[in-house]
Amino acid sequence: MTTRYWFIAISAILVLGATGFWLTREEATVKQALPAKLQCELPPSSAAAPKPGMVWIPDGVFDMGDSVYPEEKPVRNVRVKGFWMDRTEVTNAEFSAFVKATGYVTVAERPVNPQLVANLPEDMRKPGAVVFKVPAQLTHGDDPRQWWQYIPGANWKQPAGPHSNIDNFGQFPAVHITYEDAQAYAQWKGHRLPTEAEWEWAARAGAKALPGQHDQPASANTWQGIFPMANASEDGFAGLAPVACYAPNAYGLFDMVGNVWELTADVFVADRPAVSSSQGSSANQGLDPDEAQRPPIFKTLQANSQPNSQPKVRVIKGGSFLCAPNYCMRYRAGSRQPQEDDLAVSHLGFRTIYQP
Ligand SMILES: [Ca+2]
């Protein structure tokens, strides 16, 4: 049973009137000004591919990790078995098909257990999700509550809240997807979520040695300018982009870096040598100061304190449209960030893998 519990000021929750910004007028304007080289069309899957929409990621041994932020270290040599991987992040159209077939209700849509959130302000007891919004001004330093807001009614089909929808966004990545939601989708497909090592090996596309460059990628949906106030949108998008607008990597995978963070199956443990699928979490240890781009600390009341309790924090990979040089230089295969299992956020999606 998951629960939700925010350490966020009630004032931050109530400033929710203008939620229609999500990919509406602003995004439409940006899309009209797309750089000519962007096609945003997924090329047909190879007719010979046994798994349509997926590409084969071969066996490999590589140096996993990176050297930019503390949680990426130490670099270690890892072996990965081959698998099929979705070419793109799971789209709204794909997630809609899953919901239509199964009647699945996502975590962000479910009633909140009142017994477990008794101390929360009224709005936080409502189903909802956390949405990024460019702040009008910054008055509280790096406090992320200035740009992250809990919006009752926000979920995968209403990404900015009750006044938004995904009617014209079928090819955009589904967001506000929690670990449980992603697991349910993957199981329905007969797939599973990638481990961190599998995801990172796929993103590296066959490069066994650590990348020497850590620059912001030119061909991905990230943030150009000073986060969180000035977004130059030089990549064509101020917010989310449809999948497959940018060139794929050498394995044929689109958007492994940027657009949305992607869930993995692994528990987040800041101490890399202790990474294990069954260990408790020690999230927030050894993280770099830039983690302020992450939504404010969110806790489950039962977090890892009960015997046999499930892990509550997972590794997410690849960075998002919010990653900027001044904040969150995580537009890299080796970057990572912790993510609460039951927190639905507007910069997080997923893709699945299939291992024969
Ligand atoms: Ca962008």
Residue found under tokens 């106030």: 229
Structure tokens at 160: 């900015």
How many A from CA of 32 to the centre of ligand 1? 14
How many A from CA of 190 to the centre of ligand 1? 33
How many A from CA of 169 to the centre of ligand 1? 16
How many A from CA of 78 to the centre of ligand 1? 32
How many A from CA of 223 to the centre of ligand 1? 5
- Give the lowest-confidence range in 113-117, 188-192, 302-306, 335-339: 302-306
pTM to 2 decimals? 0.85
How many A from CA of 48 to the centre of ligand 1? 34
How many A from CA of 53 to the centre of ligand 1? 25
How many A from CA of 221 to the centre of ligand 1? 4
How many A from CA of 289 to the centre of ligand 1? 22
Higher pLDDT, 68 or 31: 68
Q: In the structure, how many helices (H) and strands (E) does the chain have?
A: 5, 11
How many A from CA of 27 to the centre of ligand 1? 10
**Radius of gyration, CA atoms only, the chain:** 19
How many A from CA of 261 to the centre of ligand 1? 13
Nearest in space to 172 (alpha carbons), one of 216, 225, 237: 237
For the stretch 60-76, pLDDT in tens is: 999 999 999 989 999 99
At 352 the pLDDT is 98
- The alpha carbon of 10 is separated from its chain's Cα centroid by a whole number of angstroms, namely 25
Residue pair 266/275 in contact (Cβ under 8 Å)? The answer is yes
> Largest Cα–Cα distance in the chain?
56
Residue pair 116/342 in contact (Cβ under 8 Å)? The answer is no
Q: What one-character DSSP code corresponds to residue 311?
A: P
For the stretch 201-226, pLDDT in tens is: 999 998 988 888 899 999 999 999 99
Task: Tell me the CA distances in angstroms from 69 to 79, 175, 248, 332, one per residue in order.
Answer: 23, 26, 26, 11
